[in-house]
Chain A
């Protein structure tokens, strides 16, 4: 059927008019739709935040979920839902949301940190380490330093669980350089971790820096005492503990620590300025104590027993420096036996002295 120009023009006008009307109607309708959708979603989100604040995570999660029905792609709602789900222990579901979020924003520190926590809780330690590292080097819109420090501290926990001491120490040293000087709680925690992970020197540096800022920081003094104790400077440790006590630190363990230090200083045959007789006597006492500990384990070899008896019954006239060294060597060996036996773990003082002697022997070799 052929159209005349008039009908053609009429049809075109009718179509153009209808199209314009439909377009306007759709624009108006879609604006109202978007507005309603956003306001409903935002109201649900606000309600969810309030509920979450009051500890009602389950109801909050329902609100965030409903908000997401209105606004599928809203990262804020999805993040809030993931957080609530994590609080409810629904890690799989939380992970689904976080994985979706990460796909859109792979460098987001917060998302990576939450994924790392889920992986850590699921004991997927390799994934956890990767996510923590991404969180540390990721983008944080606010509180970046604090968040990165917190992520690194959590990462050290996972690395400790994985028994990777070198990596733990590396993370802690990075933390030491990143943590601001005025962030005392973090620096205190960091120093404790450094000490626990075999780096008392770095821990001591942190405590000394803290004491430079506040000379009467009793907790830092105690920490410094702990670092000195760990390095074998028992006199220094006792002094630091006493100062902490003087500055008002009410810690019942301090008395015990001071007593231990005093006992160590009485036992320690390696102290300078000791007379030969005193050194020999201390070595003998030390050997006796270590032998007793090893004996309690029931694992003292027969030849060692004979040799010990000989050394312990040595006449004072025949005392020689070589005997002192031999006695100390044997004491260290017995100490090792005692340490391996749970029933007869050597006392703190004895262990500390033996450890110091062992370190010095290793250094001498």
Chain B
């Protein structure tokens, strides 16, 4: 073998390069998220902590100044870094062939760490997702991936980013598959899993193996408790629908105001967060410590409900005014407090014994998440992955499914689709995609005519998608539909007009 042949032998194919890149993306995204996490904590310690330690009204100053600085950066220096990040990643997949501007990575990093670290009620997960997508896009361009793989590279990075931020690889993979890619494409699943796992490994290497929450042991105390979880699902569904509607309405109203008021809006939102933080410091920032406290029954049920309401309002203002940051953490916070509050009520008034409040906090997190983001699988697995408890699956499934359907009924447009519409972008909705019915041959085939001669007609099976049948019908007039059990026996026929009927093109069906 000559050296040239050897080099050629070692050269990676595009698919192999893609898989290798997925690992590399995971490592980069993991490192980036570690730095992001540290930056948020440092800013929080030195702004919020130090100011609050010196005088109480420091809590008013920190989020106000932080909101202004972060928004100025996002609007004037890194305009691509605005928004939650999920829609921008979807836009990279569906519109810009996987291109995410490199400035997004730095913009998101700096602006969001200032906004969240200074105490504004937003989370680091969606920005991490977009930073991951940005890193992936940059590496894809550097390695000159083909157009098809370039389009898929952004979700791979997004999965790495969100998995690293949550420290939960399964949740990261599921969210991206459910919300961003919206299909279980075998080619992309492998890469997404690889990147998510490598990102989590890097994060754990630097930040430790601790899960996002230290969850106490969970057990279902009594079968009737499932009714309480179902009621929690109803409450979560109603509140999540109201939350999405309120964001939509407030954003519309704020958009009508002159552009010159943009910074005033942000200042007001930051000040409002600080004002709420004077009495309820738990609502400031991402709020994971407060969730951890709630998981360990350290708040009374009435305070939990007050915290849920307060967080909902401050998040509404922070997000709607455009302060850079994500929605995942506030959503988990609101759900956790709502669940914990309802669980506390159940402990007082439910006739049979119920679990400790921590269990309700955990289920509540998934319930509200499911209602707001309409990602039921992610919400179920997220709680499962965070709690590491099999027993919790049943209550979570009940509560999340109820919440999902109620929210879907009351707020038909999903959260991210609503945001995309408001931003003037038409992105495919993952929920719509999942709901779309794929027509198959069996939906259009007709009975075999008595005098039909099907000797030369190509054979097709009833479960084949109608699109595939259309390609065959370009070369023949009629197709013989046969069952897989008895391929020689015709069970029906398919003509072009039948396909048209099925698609409703002629309007007769």
Contact = CB atoms under 8 A, between A and B. Distances in A.
Given A1-B144, A15-B139, A73 B210 contact: yes
* Interface size, A (range): 20 to 34
A26 B30 CA distance: 10
A178 to B, nearest CB: 35
A92 B358 CA distance: 13
B27 A19 contact: yes
Given A15-B24, A19-B27, A26 B45 contact: no
B28 A22 contact: yes
Of residues A8, A11, A29, which shows the largest number of chain B Cβ atoms within 10 Å of its Cβ? A29
A29 B318 CA distance: 29
B97 interface: no
Interface in A67-92: 69, 72-73, 92
Interface stretch (B33-41, B69-77, B180-188, B221-229): B33-41
B30 to A, nearest CB: 9
Interface in B290-322: 296-298
A23 B145 contact: no
A11 B143 contact: yes
B146 interface: yes
B214 A72 contact: yes
A85 to B, nearest CB: 10
A23 B143 CA distance: 20
A325 interface: no
Nearest to B209: A73
B45 A30 contact: no
B380 interface: no
Contact of A33 (B41, B144, B296, B298): B41
B119 to A, nearest CB: 15
Given A26-B206, A33-B38, A92 B28 contact: no
A96 interface: yes
Given A93-B298, A96-B216, A3 B210 contact: no
B8 to A, nearest CB: 10
B42 A36 contact: yes
B289 interface: yes
Contacts of B31: 19, 22-23, 26
A88 to B, nearest CB: 13
Contacts of A40: 45
A274 interface: no
A7 interface: yes
A29 B38 contact: yes
B485 interface: no
Given A15-B24, A22-B31, A26-B35, A92 B297 contact: yes
A177 B12 CA distance: 76
Contact of A11 (B35, B142, B296): B142
Contacts of B27: 19
A40 B42 CA distance: 12
A25 interface: yes
Contacts of A11: 142-144
A30 B34 contact: yes
A72 B289 CA distance: 10
Contact size class for B?
A: 20 to 34
Given A33-B38, A93-B297, A7 B24 contact: no
B336 interface: no
A18 B27 CA distance: 12
Contacts of B296: 93, 96-97
B155 to A, nearest CB: 20
A30 B36 CA distance: 11
A237 B332 CA distance: 74
Could you say which of A8, A30, A40 has the most chain B C-beta atoms within 10 Å of its C-beta? A30
Given A1-B144, A19-B27, A30-B206, A69 B35 contact: no
A69 B289 contact: yes
Given A30-B34, A93-B298, A96-B297, A1 B41 contact: no
B38 A30 contact: yes
A100 interface: yes
A14 interface: yes
Interface string A49-83: 00000000000000000000100110000000000
Given A33-B41, A40-B45, A93-B298, A1 B35 contact: no
Contact of B216 (A37, A73, A100): A100
Contacts of B42: 33, 36
B499 interface: no
Given A93-B297, A93-B298, A25 B35 contact: yes
Contact of B45 (A19, A36, A99): A36
B32 interface: yes
A141 B145 CA distance: 60
B151 to A, nearest CB: 13
Nearest to B289: A69
A10 to B, nearest CB: 9
A5 B145 CA distance: 15
Nearest to A92: B297
B142 A29 contact: no
A73 B292 CA distance: 13
B264 to A, nearest CB: 34
Contacts of A18: 28
Contacts of A3: 143-144
A315 to B, nearest CB: 76
Nearest to B49: A40
A1 B14 CA distance: 9
Interface in B66-118: none
Contacts of B7: 5
B34 A1 contact: no
Contacts of B144: 1-3, 7, 11
Given A11-B142, A30-B206, 9 more contacts: A1-B146, A8-B143, A15-B24, A19-B24, A26-B31, A36-B42, A72-B210, A96-B216, A100-B216
26 contacts: A1-B145, A2-B144, A8-B143, A14-B142, A18-B28, A22-B31, A26-B31, A26-B206, A29-B34, A29-B39, A30-B34, A30-B206, A30-B207, A33-B41, A33-B42, A36-B42, A36-B45, A69-B289, A73-B210, A93-B298, A96-B216, A96-B297, A97-B296, A99-B216, A100-B214, A100-B216
In the A-B complex, the 8 residue pairs with the smallest Cβ-Cβ separation, listed nearest first, are: A33-B38, A11-B142, A1-B144, A30-B206, A22-B31, A26-B31, A96-B296, A3-B144
